[in-house]
Amino acid sequence: MRKNGAEILIDALIRENVDIIFGYPGGQAIPIFNVLYDTKEIKVVLTRHEQGAAHAAEGYARATGKVGVCLATSGPGATNLVTGIADAYLDSTPLVAITGQVATPYLGTDAFQEVDIVGITRPVTKHNILVKNIKDFPFLIKEAFYIARTGRPGPVLIDIPADISKGFLDDYEYPAEISLRSYRPTTVGHVKQIEKAAALIKTAARPLVFAGGGVISADAHQELFELATKLNAPVTLSLMGLGAFPGEHPLFIGMPGMHGSKTANSALQEADVIISVGVRFDDRVTGHVGAFAPKAKIIHLDIDPATISKIVRVDIPVVGDAKNIVAALVKIVAPRPADAWNDVVNKWKGDTLFAYKNSDKIIKPQFVIEQIYELTKDKDAIITTEVGQTQMWCMQYYKYARPRTCISSGGLGTMGFGLPAAMGASLGRPGALVIDIAGDGSIQMNIQELATISINKIPVKVAIINNEYLGMVRQWQDMFWNKRRSSTCLRGGTLCVECTGSGHCKKPYVPDFVRLAESYDIPGLRATKASEVVPVLQEGLNKEGPVVMEFMVAPEENVYPIVPVGKSLDQAMEEL
Amino acid sequence: MSTRTISILVENHSGTLSRIAGLFSSRGYNISSLTVGETEDASVSRMTIVVAGDDSVIEQVVKQLNRLIDVIKVIDFDNDPIIERELILIRVDSGKGSRHEVVELADIFGASVVHVSASSITLQLASTCDKIDEFIWLIKPFGVKELIRTGKIAMAQPKK
């Protein structure tokens, strides 16, 4: 069938089951948007910034497991996507980013709004493609989706010059199948390796399950649950893995690492066999690598062979899809009754994994998150977060019961992620109660998306935990940089001569988030006292449609425990 | 630090070389030499890369190379017996009556004369990298005006 490039693209997207695109038009993308104008099968969400589009596509992908799609024009449109693409790369999120490009005769001429986006994104994409011949175009779209969603998922960028999107192909046909000689991800685990893993587990006196985002990508949470419960092994989940095992389960011991629970960190340091599934031993998890898990033999199940022994030397690697490997392992491992090891872990755990000193006057940020959990634990809730202190408290005090309910920027740590991601999650899972728990710093990095939320009536609840600082950096400055709060106070700015650091600054905080929300025609609520937290949450969470809630919290609260950079997991600092 | 020779079969696309070079540079690994050209199948190019690094570095390099979509196969020769060749063009000073000696040395190494001028002689030598190093060391005293090395190409010896 005769179609032009833009028509081919949209037809292919429909065939790839794309039902939503987050995008922003511009000169070289007009041909594509022109076709979208008549396309009923695909909803187009016009964001207010291309970065918002990329994070929204990520949020959609993380909430649904489908490939997220974002679309931007050439030049600045494309470069504005880069942070979102890099974020998706670090968190193995399936994403197809589509960019318009100047027509092929102008490539490399520094034409208006031309950048080499394929060159720019090469290190932060799983793969990327510049379309140079319309004949190849259908195959390349198929390839992009295939690569994005299979193996270890990741972002793929397709750069489409305007003469391709406007040019015609006479005999368009979308390929039904694809096979790449250079890309064949291993999915089935090696039987011998699985048997070796089972044999090692049998010898374990202090087994520990350490799982991550790979379990969620592979939809292997049920298998993981069976494995952990059959072995009575304590379970720790990396930030990316939260939700892969029920947060209230007695075997769950919280997130490990820099701001992880003492129980999880102690268990990693004391375990003799660690069954790690879909994790990559990020430095925020391991602390000082040389002193990580010194007593353990490590089994590592992962779909990406390059993660095996990249950071931590692995004793038994099994490469493949977590779902079928864990299922195979469950079948052959011997059941293990709870024993003294479980008693030890339970004793570490005590009543609670994380603790803070609450106040009946000033609002403690941890208290807000606990209350959000209490009010939403029986609902189909999805939490997205921004980055920094608030993000860490969300990992500590919200107990995720199901996969795809904790959506946070793990690897890249992208401020401004949470609001657009919440938007994408909400559109992907229309029935869910989606809450962006934000810091006052991060939220301002993509605050413009309140317009997208308002206009499209996306029922996202935004909880701004306002501590008036770039809190995590302020905490590091206080703890490790002699309290030199350079450029971290959001009241004062770079440096106030009169600042005593006592938290009694009289400068007004801008913006007024309540009035800001109202200017976007979104209801705004504020709590300034501890007693107001629950009423504000009840009112806000029960409102139809989007709402912004602001909580004026203790400005100088720190995240504990904290394992300082370069220290081992047993050297955590706790609140005095 | 030891060096290791890796051969990579890749899709013959634009951008592939940059992807592979980027993989090395982003990790701070230094490429000692790199050659690339088409194979018996025109859609496939073969690169031969000599990289410096210990075993764990090489292991990571190989894994990361395998992750690239355009990479069809990575051959890490490790310590396997290989057939290797490198080609050089070298222009040597021959102005002070040394031409005869230069040609004699070239003969010993099997280098051929590809150009002669009044003051210089240009030689070509295809040999193993060790032999080439030796040749260069011996010919240096005559005065090397210009030297170009192609970098090594290598293939595994067939198994018996």
Tell me: the pLDDT tens digits for A278-296?
A: 999 999 999 999 999 999 9
Is any Cβ of chain B less than 8 angstroms from the Cβ of A305?
yes
Residues of chain B positioned with their CB less than 8 A from the CB of A127: 69
For residue B159, what pLDDT is reported?
A: 80
Q: Which residue of B has its CA nearest to A185?
A: B67
A434-486 pLDDT, tens digit per residue, is 999 999 999 999 999 999 999 999 999 999 999 999 999 999 999 999 988 88
Nearest chain A CA: its distance from B21 CA (Å): 11
Quickly state the pLDDT bin for A186 (edges 50, 70, 90).
confident
A48-61 pLDDT, tens digit per residue, is 999 999 999 999 99
The correct CATH number of B3-76 out of 3.30.70.260, 3.10.250.10, 1.10.357.10, 3.20.20.70 is 3.30.70.260
For residue B60, what pLDDT is reported?
A: 87
Phi, psi for residue A553 in degrees, rounded to 5: -105, 170
Residues of chain A positioned with their CB less than 8 A from the CB of B64: 306
For residue B108, what pLDDT is reported?
A: 96
Please state, for a pLDDT cut of 90, what percent of chain A lies above it.
94
Integer angstrom CA distances of residue A525 from A418, A490, A538: 19, 20, 11
Q: Say what the alpha-carbon torsion angle B135, B139, B143, B144 is, to the nearest 10 degrees.
A: -20
CB B142 within 8 A of CB B94: yes
Beta-carbon contacts of residue A95 (< 8 Å; ≥ 6 apart)? A54, A57, A58, A61, A67, A68, A69, A70, A84, A85, A88, A148, A154, A155, A156
Quickly state the pLDDT bin for A503 (edges 50, 70, 90).
low
User: Quick one: average pLDDT of B40-68?
Assistant: 91
CATH 3.30.70.1150 assigned to domain B82-156? The reply is: yes
Chosen from B10, B23, B69 to mutate, greatest number of chain A CBs within 10 A: B69
Q: Which residue of A has its CA nearest to B63?
A: A306
| Residue carrying the six token digits 């950071």 | A311
Phi, psi for residue A461 in degrees, rounded to 5: -100, 125
A366-375 pLDDT, tens digit per residue, is 999 999 999 9
A135-162 pLDDT, tens digit per residue, is 999 999 999 999 999 999 999 999 999 9
Is any Cβ of chain B less than 8 angstroms from the Cβ of A39?
no
Quickly state the pLDDT bin for A496 (edges 50, 70, 90).
low
pLDDT surpasses 90 at A528: yes
CB A260 within 8 A of CB A561: yes
Nearest chain A CA: its distance from B73 CA (Å): 7
Residues of chain B positioned with their CB less than 8 A from the CB of A317: none
Helix, strand, or coil (residue A374):
helix
Superfamily of domain A3-169: Thiamin diphosphate (ThDP)-binding fold, Pyr/PP domains (3.40.50.970)
Helix, strand, or coil (residue A203):
coil
Superfamily of domain A365-552: Thiamin diphosphate (ThDP)-binding fold, Pyr/PP domains (3.40.50.970)
Answer whether B15 sits within 8 Å of A130, measured CB to CB: yes
Element at A232 (helix H, strand E): none
What is the rounded CA–CA span in Å between residue A410 and residue A395?
11
Answer whether A308 sits within 8 Å of B63, measured CB to CB: yes
Integer angstrom CA distances of residue B96 from A192, B121, B124, B136: 71, 12, 21, 19
Tell me the domain boundaries of chain A.
3-169, 191-349, 365-552
Helix, strand, or coil (residue A371):
helix
Contacts 24+ apart (CB under 8 A), A475-481: A475/A389, A475/A558, A475/A559, A475/A562, A478/A556, A478/A558, A479/A558, A479/A562, A479/A564, A479/A573, A480/A564
For residue A128, what pLDDT is reported?
A: 96
Residues of chain A positioned with their CB less than 8 A from the CB of B66: 305-306
For residue B25, what pLDDT is reported?
A: 87
Neighbours of A362 (CB within 10 A): 15
Q: How far apart are the first and last CA of chain B?
A: 32
Q: Tokens representing A121?
A: 């994104």
What is the rounded CA–CA span in Å between residue A383 and residue A394?
8
Task: Locate the DSSP E strands across A76-192.
Answer: 95-101, 127-130, 155-161, 168-169
| Residue carrying the six token digits 């000696």 | B101
What dotted CATH number matches A191-349? 3.40.50.1220
Is any Cβ of chain B less than 8 angstroms from the Cβ of A324?
no
Integer angstrom CA distances of residue A280 from A239, A310, B26, B57: 11, 8, 19, 17
For residue A369, what pLDDT is reported?
A: 98
Neighbours of A507 (CB within 10 A): 14
Answer whether B60 sits within 8 Å of A306, measured CB to CB: yes
Is any Cβ of chain B less than 8 angstroms from the Cβ of A186?
no
For residue A494, what pLDDT is reported?
A: 60
For residue A498, what pLDDT is reported?
A: 61
Could you say which of A118, A123, A306 has the minimum Cβ distance to residue B15?
Answer: A118
Mean per-residue pLDDT over chain A, rounded: 96
Answer whether B72 sits within 8 Å of A181, measured CB to CB: yes
Chosen from A125, A182, A289, A311 to mutate, greatest number of chain B CBs within 10 A: A182
What is the rounded CA–CA span in Å between residue A28 and residue A185?
35
Nearest chain A CA: its distance from B149 CA (Å): 28
A565-574 pLDDT, tens digit per residue, is 999 999 999 8
pLDDT surpasses 90 at B160: no
Scan residues 285-304 of A and list those with Cβ closer than 8 Å to B: 304
The reply to whether domains A3-169 and A365-552 share a CATH topology is yes
What is the rounded CA–CA span in Å between residue A396 and residue A390?
10
A417-433 pLDDT, tens digit per residue, is 999 999 999 999 999 99
For residue B97, what pLDDT is reported?
A: 85
What is the rounded CA–CA span in Å between residue B77 and residue B43?
23
Kindly report which listed range (A64-73, A303-312, A488-497, B137-146) carries the lowest average pLDDT score: A488-497
What is the rounded CA–CA span in Å between residue A410 and residue A387?
9
For residue A504, what pLDDT is reported?
A: 64
pLDDT surpasses 70 at A520: yes
Quickly state the pLDDT bin for A176 (edges 50, 70, 90).
very high
